[in-house]
Structure 1
Amino acid sequence: MTEGTRTGRAVPGNRWDLLDGVRPDVAPTVSVIVAHYRQPEQLARLLHALGRQDFPADRVEIIVVDDGSPEPPVVPRGVRLLVQADAGFRLAAARNLGAAAARNEILVFLDADTTPEPEYLRQITRLPALAFDSVTVGRRKHADLALVPTTSPIEIAGPRHELEDPSWLVDAYRESRNLLDLNCRSYRYLIGAVLACSRRFFLETGGFDDSFDQYGGEDWEWGYRAWLLGAVIAHVPEAVAWHDGADRAGREPGALSSKNAETLRLIDLIPVPGSRGRGLPANRVDILVSGPKADATEAQAFVSVDSALAALPRHSATIATVGAAPLIPPDPERFDRVRLEFVLERPVRIHPGALATVLTAVESGDYQEVLVRDANGTLLLRARSRREAARQRRWGPDAVLPTLELGDLPGITELVAEVDLEAYLGGW
């Protein structure tokens, strides 16, 4: 692979396993962005470990971003230091500042208290170097390094002082086959302290949301947007980095209150099942319904969209149009997290539960689109994933997943004659 074509690998869906064993012919250029706040000894340990990587040193730049420490850190010659004012916990802004200053192809995000083993850069940059829309997360392990000299080899010191890993994360990586099996809630397994992607894709996402000014959530929010934009997401267990200390959830008395505040912040930003409220609707739309596109009476159009919304998960869907008439004033922010689109091609009545098969198929990640036809082959509706649409726009036919066609589904009926709207609403 030449320097100019390094970003050109495409895979269908999230099939990064098709690139197993493949390495770029030329090592990518890498910008390591280290977020720091009042951690001089941990930073020294991390910088020492970066000097021991089995990766060409002339292909790496190191950028330390200090988040307003009372005294900025002292860094070795050749390490770039950026400083932002102390205006609260601004980890997202610090990472964005480092990314904006980066000159290289691949961005590797590390926190100052997280020290990489010698093969870390080689392992975590492999996929982003092959396909520019890949996002990789390393294996963050935990150790008590308080009494360990900063120059001790971390691949020895870490295991000797190892602490328990959070079981929920270990289980998630195992059950998902290192995130090969992806879904709309896999963003929870992207840890900002051990994250890597191409600079090109990071810019496409718009970066982290720097309005986050409290601990937690900025990596999950970014991870969900990256997923929506079609990122190929992989956990790389060979890319090991050691966090100095236990997992935060197990070491701070106020951890639950802090986690609740983070969850409340994310409810509206990630409006998917399991993340949004169960009864309270989110401000942002998850599923968008439009149509019917064919000629329909006002009553037929109402029954079409109303029955479609009733058949979809509660509070998940919103109508965009009835026919060609927009029902909702333009509001880009409200629609910037749409995950699925249901387009009604014909006037239809959809009974409760009738869309379950369609929803399962389009959410599976196995298809770019699901088409529903009646017994005569007439197209009644289509369901499509915004994630897969993004991948198709980016890669064209190289990344296209198959289309699933479903015929004559029970409970989905074309409305040929005029409907009795009063009877529909009254239930008789």
Structure 2
Amino acid sequence: MNLTHLIAGPAEHGVTEYARLLAENTGGRVGEPGEHPVHVTFTDHLFGPTPDEAVDVLLSRLAGRRFSVSFHDVPQEGEGAERFARRADAYQRLAAAADLAVTNSRHEATFFDTEVEVIPLPLPTAPSLDIDPEPGTVGVLGFIYPGKGHNVVAEAAGDLRVRALGGFSAGHEDMDLPGVEVTGYLSEEDLWAEMARIAVPVCPHLHVSASGSMMRWLAAGRRVLVADSTYAREVAGLFPDQVRLVTDWAADIAAAAADPDFSRTVELPVTWGWPEVATRWQELWAETFAAEFRGNVLADTPADTPSVSVVIPHYNNPEMLTRVVRGLEAQTFDGPLEVIVADDGSAELPRVDTPLPLQVVSQEDRGFRAAAARNLGAAHASNDVLVFLDADTVPEPDFIRAAVSRVARDPACVVVGTRLQEDGEPQWLIDAWQRTRDLTLADDTSWRFIISSVLALPRELFTSVGGFDESMVGYGGEDWELGWRLWNAGAKFRHVPEAVATHLEPEWAQRGGGAEEKNVESVALAHRITHPLARPDGVVFADQDVAVELPDGTPEPVLASWLAAGDVRVLSPRPELFSADPRVGPGSARLTLTLSRPLLAPADLPEVAARIHALGGAAQLVVDGEVVGSARGRRVSTDTPALVHVDLSPWTGPERLERWFAGW
């Protein structure tokens, strides 16, 4: 996953701990900013002596890189007017500079002028606790600092014993807390143990907007008294049996201490731990940093003007072909340019008078073989860049110059131009360019926008993937199939609006193309493109989209679960029960999973696969905090695998197959 986590502060600080756990649960690298987008977990005092200096220091370290930020300790008006104003300006400035800003609560999100996302704090994973509260104890959890509410609780508790589970925040070691027993810093194990001794957990901080302390109490299944606030009501909506809103501390603490049920644990109503939080972060990163994560960022290095070979497939239409060549003669491109006409078995080879270097190559007429014709023309090309035009598609004067300018800078670049019809560009393409920002945000579905009549790419790249699929005979689809293989080989897609060509003939549908012809194309693509968009459910193909390698000795029901999970191939093992199933055994797939344990397939396998592709094509699979396998796609754009949390479980059914078969 192409992301760097920039972490500041001491390890025991709650915000630093969040940053560390986020990195440990999502993947990426930890360190100083490099070439990839950066994620920062931010509270002002961890980065500088004043809020403004903290933001200045951070932006200087980021040095113009794209970044996301998780805001903590968001300014609250209850801090006091001067402090609030000072911190508010700094936080607003950082949020405006970020590509993605996230808070831990809806309450915090309302503070910002810019749009922010909300990811609630996770419930930590609580160990098995022997809850044995000491009667009359009241516990406040976390760092000690002014405004945390320890004095309020001590005054309200009367004769009850108030314990502060934690140490003093830096700079506040001299705070006077009469009536409060301070434990000092506690290890993780000791902290959970001390929490189990408390009869009345409390969160008295009046200005809290996201509380890790509250999440710990809730994760332990404890009821907790919380100062009434917008944020507290937000959490109470999720945990109504656990969060008790307080308006009168003395009365509510006394009532809780006298109620034996208050200290008993309850079952958590929701699952929201680090796996869920990590997955949500990855979704937002994959959306925000789509080009970087998918390896679709073009190099921007200066390049010499390349030499260009224009390949034009042709069949029995010399007048149209002449108009296309005249368009090439008018190009503003000033580099070497040659034209190869690839004739698909015309009754008579075309002759075009032109000052451009032009050759005609031909193949016999064996049906509509545009793919083979284009390959034939490319095989006779001698220049660096291939440009494909159709014999009825006339380029505007700037077409070649605009198209190849991107290709010249990056040997992995594939450019699609703008193909105009009589009434303009088709709406489905206009929508695609807008949605993908001219293919800057291309993904593994963007092969649908590769159009061979306005296409430019390096000749070496075209050759490396084997060119067009010559087995495709008949109208349409060969350009989408090529786009599919190019993307999986690591190509970078771009639409260049200025590279304009005009399609002189009507669109396929206007020329009388019907469902039967289109269905032939769809079937041909389904056999070649494994993406779910190209295939129906329930049909077995020679190649699958996902392959899984399971350890020897895997029970047959586990294999069956994977085969039922989608378009899946099981590479190994191959038990006798599956000897006739063509999906079991050696083969290829777009994504390969390798498991170290025999685990059942997840119910959402297609979504898991899509997430892995979006995060860069390489992942470690995590179940309950343990890595149980790996995943690797054909297109891998990262050196650092993402950590993907998946719902995999062992087979717990009968060992005897007859019982599995019959369901008894």
TM > 0.5:
yes
Secondary structure at 2:438's aligned position in 1? coil
> In 2, Cα distance between the equivalents of 1:238 and 1:40?
27
* Selected match of 2:397 from 112, 118, 127: 118
* Selected match of 1:189 from 443, 449, 472: 449
- Deviation for aligned residue 1:113: 0.7
> Contact conserved, 1:289 with 1:309, CA < 8 A, in 2?
no
Q: Root-mean-square deviation (CA), in Å?
A: 3.0
> Contact conserved, 1:67 with 1:94, CA < 8 A, in 2?
yes
Pick closer, same or farther for the CA change 1:350–1:272 going to 2, 3 Å.
closer
Residue in 2 that maps onto 1:344: 595
The answer to which structure, 1 or 2, has the higher relative contact order (CA under 8 A, 6+ apart) is 1
- Deviation for aligned residue 1:231: 1.4
- Deviation for aligned residue 1:257: 2.2
| TM-score, scaled relative to structure 2 | 0.51
Residue in 1 that maps onto 2:559: 305
For structure 2, which runs of at least 5 residues remain unmatched after alignment?
Answer: 1-35, 37-290
Q: Does 1:31 align with 2:309?
A: yes
Secondary structure at 2:635's aligned position in 1? helix
- Deviation for aligned residue 1:105: 0.9
- Deviation for aligned residue 1:418: 10
> In 2, Cα distance between the equivalents of 1:327 and 1:367?
35
> Contact conserved, 2:295 with 2:616, CA < 8 A, in 1?
no
Q: Structure 2: which amino acid aligns with 1:49?
A: G
Q: Does 1:258 align with 2:258?
A: no
Q: Kindly provide the CA deviation profile for residues 42-77 of structure 1, in whole angstroms up to 9, marking residues without a partner as x.
A: 2222111111212114x2111112222222211225
Residue in 2 that maps onto 1:383: 631
Of all paired residues, the percent bearing the same amino acid is 35
- Deviation for aligned residue 1:17: 4.8
> In 2, Cα distance between the equivalents of 1:226 and 1:241?
23
> Contact conserved, 1:114 with 1:241, CA < 8 A, in 2?
yes
- Deviation for aligned residue 1:131: 2.0
* Selected match of 2:346 from 44, 69, 89: 69
Residue in 2 that maps onto 1:362: 612
Pick closer, same or farther for the CA change 1:327–1:137 going to 2, 3 Å.
farther
- Deviation for aligned residue 1:255: 2.9
Q: Does 1:229 align with 2:481?
A: no
Residue in 2 that maps onto 1:79: 358
> In 2, Cα distance between the equivalents of 1:237 and 1:175?
14
Residue in 2 that maps onto 1:102: 381
> In 1, Cα distance between the equivalents of 2:328 and 2:483?
25
For structure 1, which runs of at least 5 residues remain unmatched after alignment?
Answer: 1-9, 144-162, 389-398
Q: Does 1:420 align with 2:658?
A: no
> Contact conserved, 1:266 with 1:275, CA < 8 A, in 2?
yes
> Contact conserved, 2:530 with 2:590, CA < 8 A, in 1?
no
* Selected match of 1:282 from 531, 534, 541: 541
* Selected match of 1:371 from 613, 616, 620: 620
Q: Structure 1: which amino acid aligns with 2:641?
A: T
> In 2, Cα distance between the equivalents of 1:327 and 1:31?
50
> In 1, Cα distance between the equivalents of 2:513 and 2:606?
41
> In 1, Cα distance between the equivalents of 2:483 and 2:606?
27
Pick closer, same or farther for the CA change 1:115–1:254 going to 2, 3 Å.
closer
> Contact conserved, 2:294 with 2:613, CA < 8 A, in 1?
no
Q: Kindly provide the CA deviation profile for residues 129-175 of structure 1, in whole angstroms up to 9, marking residues without a partner as x.
A: 222222111111113xxxxxxxxxxxxxxxxxxx2432222212221
* Selected match of 2:572 from 321, 325, 336: 321
- Deviation for aligned residue 1:178: 1.7
Pick closer, same or farther for the CA change 1:55–1:339 going to 2, 3 Å.
same
Secondary structure at 2:511's aligned position in 1? coil
Secondary structure at 2:520's aligned position in 1? helix
Secondary structure at 1:183's aligned position in 2? coil
Pick closer, same or farther for the CA change 1:129–1:13 going to 2, 3 Å.
farther
Secondary structure at 1:93's aligned position in 2? helix
